[in-house]
Structure 1
Amino acid sequence: MKTKPSDRVLFALSLVPLIMVLGNSMVIPVLPAIANEYDLSALDTGLLITLFSVPAGAIIPFAGFLSDRIGRKKVIIAALVLYGAGGLIAGGAALFFAQPYAWIVAGRIIQGIGAAGTSPIAMALIGDLYPPEHRGRAFGVIESANAFGKVLSPVLGSLLALIAWYALFFAFPLLIVPALWAIARWVKEAETEAPPPFAKYKQDAVNVFRKQGRWLFISFLLGATQMFFLFGMLFYLAEALDNYTSLSGPVRGLFLALPLLSLTVISAWVGNIIGQKVERMKTFLVSGTSLTAVICTILPFTAHPIAIIALLFAGGIGAGFVLPCLNALITSAVGKAERGIVTSLYSSVRFLGIAAGPAVFGALMGRPFLLFWGTSAFCLLLALLTARFIHRPAQIKSKHGHRRLLLKPLPLVHKDSG
């Protein structure tokens, strides 16, 4: 019988998504300073976000495949080192070169590649280490750490910019040190078994999507849409604060962070609830997605930053309902052998949502009804598809007396009970 790891293991793994999310969110407050320093266009500065997220989204499936074959811990440690190295390249270029933009972009791409092997693989590792009845709480903590990183990063980025706008890039390698130490010391992973031939691995992964592809596809869209809305709204709020206020950088960062507190708190609460009452997952998924739709319906009628912050705070509640449930469902959908690739594909889609959010919100800023009502309609469609195709999970006891998580009519837990 699989036993629950100690809390320090969960703490070590929770540092990974916290650090990873700083990669974009901490840079957003200093984008205007970078643009002014080097006379960059909006497209050029936007690429510093896009060229982090797109490589991460593209590399994540490969990182998942690699973790299935050589072990999760090895991939996470290597990815964190790469993530820190990218920060050193970007910061060093800004410090020593007169025209460092190309090198900063290169550093951001390297950071994105490193990010591909961090949070998604940590999520798969939790699926490996924790028995089904404890995964809900574990994923609630992980999603809360992710959200707390989003809360912390605008403030931290703004404070570091008081030293120099490029100081935040040097923060990345410093931040990974405690995470590397904690993971190397506390996280114990079972020896990786001899991996199956690639042809069999590929066939097993294809079979997962052939049998369970419909609800997995809907789940992927649910996660991507929440990331699209969240990062798009952060961009939208930053523009509103710039247009309607004259706040200093750190204060503006604090206002950007406030709406994300709800995501942090609700994610932890939902994780605890679904750990005890797994049948509530479907209710949370439908309710959270519907709440996002309602918020998007209201948003075109307000432009004041305080009203936007209040609505985005409510949006954090919706995301907090959805994201921990998706993490638990998707990591429990397959056995250990395919878990890395499936969770990595899910994380890849989430990263693409992050990359698309600011771009789409920026392009449609002048057409709020198209932007928000279109998003609202899509969320309502996803809520209906969730209600129809993601069947309510239930906990039953196996013949060995272990609780298993089922997604009727297809089992979420693979026959290897991993």
Structure 2
Amino acid sequence: MGNSNKKELLSIASIPLIMTLGNSMLIPVLPAIRSKLGVTSLQVSLLITVYSAVAILLIPIAGYLSDKYGRKFVIIPSLLITGIGGLIAGLAAWWMDHSYVVMLIGRFVQGVGAAGAFPIVIPLVGDLFKKDSDVSSGLGLVETANTFGKVLSPILGSALSMVVWFLPFMFIPVLCVISMLLVLFMVKPPTKSSKPTKSISFSDYLAQIKTIFKNNGRWLYAIFAIGCVCMLVIFGVLTYLSDLLEEKAHVYGIVKGCLLAIPLAALCIASYVTGKVIGKNQLLMKWLIVAGLLLLAGSLLVCGLVGSTFLLLVFISLAGIGIGAALPCLDVMITEGIPKEERGTITSIYSSMRFIGVAIGPPLASILVKNSPSLMFYMIAGISILAGAIALFAIKPKKDEQAPLKRALA
């Protein structure tokens, strides 16, 4: 990987970092927002959900446009729209007494922009590198940047909210401008291989996608489902943990942010290491996914049994390691398994499924916790076990991809 490629990759990695900050920064602030706006836990969780819900609908369209016109053509305007959405939400909170509805609208606009930002990063990395090892390493860095954003989010969100509770919203436009400038000036336009060789109609394009699903549906559906489960767990558990630290442990501000960052740091480190070691070995990827999901499920089951906040943090951190082992493998499998001409759309559908998990996680946690926190942990542990079973039986690596691991074990 050359120096120019490294600069491009670092610039691209700013997108998932900033997109994650724009959403996850709100998690430690949700209790304060609920208090300031006088809304319920379910209503405040919709500030996360509406962002994700609109992105779910628009991500496949953004993927199609990126395949047809190029990745930067979609990414740069999307970053601008994301910043505008954050500005709307922040100004509404600042200037209006009853700002909840306008803040939801701002988050809706932000979700429109998010649809064309991070989801396009995955195929863009696949376009930039020819070597499989460079692709897997690049995607590992992207997933690490995404996770590092989650690590930094609770700390930064808590710090900003100590100045004024709506400042995290106002910080989003600043971050988006930085990322937009980096991509604009540091990332070269994708090569011709990143776009179709000829223009085709949307109906013909859909027919191509249908053919891809017909030939690869089994493992694609499995990866979509697993990505959704991983995001559901992250955002659901962190939403619960944020409330728990304030209401029961009486931990606030930056200290709370640092505690929330611990399991995310474990996830981040696991993602980085996994991206470095997997290469193009699909058999290794499969077993890392299965093992990661089993570690996730086991940790969540224990979380349902313990009452100590310290032990809860320990086992949620173990759950984070499980997710961190799985995510880079999912990214590489779906990027390398699809032709470049259709890669943007397929990876965007995958990103949509991850956003579904983000959208479902916080409200699901809020509903289940009303009955019992243990019920919440047992429920999502069961979902994680199901995801592990799907990975075990639906993901079948090609035989020629198994040879490297067999040689390594010989």
Q: TM-score, normalised by structure 2?
A: 0.92
2:288 pairs with 1:289: no
Who is 2:239 aligned against? Answer: 235
Who is 1:404 aligned against? Answer: none
Query: Cα distance, 1:153 vs. partner?
Result: 0.7
Q: Partners of 1:194 and 1:290 in 2: how far apart?
A: 45
Q: Which amino acid in structure 1 is aligned with residue 140 of structure 2?
A: G
Give the direction of change, closer, same or farther, for the CA distance of 1:323–1:9 in structure 2 (3 Å limit).
same
Give the direction of change, closer, same or farther, for the CA distance of 1:153–1:295 in structure 2 (3 Å limit).
same
Q: Partners of 1:338 and 1:359 in 2: how far apart?
A: 33
Deviates more, 1:134-143 or 1:377-386: 377-386
Query: Cα distance, 1:247 vs. partner?
Result: 1.8
Per-residue CA deviations over 1:138-162 (Å, capped at 9, x if unaligned) read 1110110000000101111111112
Q: Partners of 2:236 and 2:100 in 1: how far apart?
A: 24
Who is 1:413 aligned against? Answer: none
Counting only pairs closer than 5 Å after superposition, residues 15-414 of structure 1 correspond to structure 2 as 15-131=14-130, 132-188=132-188, 189-191=190-192, 192=195, 193-275=197-279, 277-365=281-369, 366-393=371-398
Give the direction of change, closer, same or farther, for the CA distance of 1:251–1:134 in structure 2 (3 Å limit).
same
Query: Cα distance, 1:391 vs. partner?
Result: 1.8
8 Å Cα contact 1:240-1:303 kept in structure 2: no
Q: Partners of 2:48 and 2:379 in 1: how far apart?
A: 24
Query: Cα distance, 1:243 vs. partner?
Result: 3.0
Q: Which amino acid in structure 1 is aligned with residue 89 of structure 2?
A: A
Per-residue CA deviations over 1:111-142 (Å, capped at 9, x if unaligned) read 01111111110111111122223211111101
Query: Cα distance, 1:351 vs. partner?
Result: 0.6
SS at match of 2:163: coil
Q: Partners of 1:43 and 1:387 in 2: how far apart?
A: 35
8 Å Cα contact 1:278-1:394 kept in structure 2: no
Q: Partners of 1:393 and 1:268 in 2: how far apart?
A: 25
Query: Cα distance, 1:178 vs. partner?
Result: 2.2
Query: Cα distance, 1:297 vs. partner?
Result: 1.9
Deviates more, 1:41-50 or 1:85-94: 41-50
Query: Cα distance, 1:31 vs. partner?
Result: 1.9
Name structure 1 gaps, 5 residues minimum. 397-418
Query: Cα distance, 1:356 vs. partner?
Result: 0.8
Query: Cα distance, 1:88 vs. partner?
Result: 1.0
Per-residue CA deviations over 1:358-391 (Å, capped at 9, x if unaligned) read 1112111123454333333332233233222212
8 Å Cα contact 1:5-1:130 kept in structure 2: no
SS at match of 1:204: helix
Query: Cα distance, 1:195 vs. partner?
Result: 2.2
Who is 2:407 aligned against? Answer: none
Q: Partners of 1:393 and 1:108 in 2: how far apart?
A: 42
8 Å Cα contact 2:71-2:120 kept in structure 1: yes
CA RMSD of aligned residues (A): 2.0
Deviates more, 1:77-86 or 1:126-135: 126-135
Q: Which amino acid in structure 1 is aligned with residue 136 of structure 2?
A: G
Deviates more, 1:145-154 or 1:61-70: 61-70
Q: Partners of 1:145 and 1:199 in 2: how far apart?
A: 35
Deviates more, 1:374-383 or 1:120-129: 374-383
Give the direction of change, closer, same or farther, for the CA distance of 1:385–1:35 in structure 2 (3 Å limit).
closer
Q: Partners of 2:40 and 2:315 in 1: how far apart?
A: 30
Counting only pairs closer than 5 Å after superposition, residues 8-19 of structure 1 correspond to structure 2 as 8-19=7-18
Q: Partners of 2:398 and 2:146 in 1: how far apart?
A: 25
Q: Partners of 1:33 and 1:385 in 2: how far apart?
A: 39
Give the direction of change, closer, same or farther, for the CA distance of 1:160–1:285 in structure 2 (3 Å limit).
same
Q: Partners of 1:346 and 1:66 in 2: how far apart?
A: 16
Task: Give aligned-pair identity as a percent.
Answer: 38
SS at match of 1:275: coil
Query: Cα distance, 1:277 vs. partner?
Result: 4.6
Q: Partners of 2:229 and 2:385 in 1: how far apart?
A: 11
Query: Cα distance, 1:4 vs. partner?
Result: 9.5
8 Å Cα contact 2:296-2:381 kept in structure 1: yes
Per-residue CA deviations over 1:243-299 (Å, capped at 9, x if unaligned) read 321222111111111111111111111001012655411110110011111112212
8 Å Cα contact 1:63-1:75 kept in structure 2: yes
Deviates more, 1:180-189 or 1:262-271: 180-189
Q: Partners of 1:373 and 1:47 in 2: how far apart?
A: 23
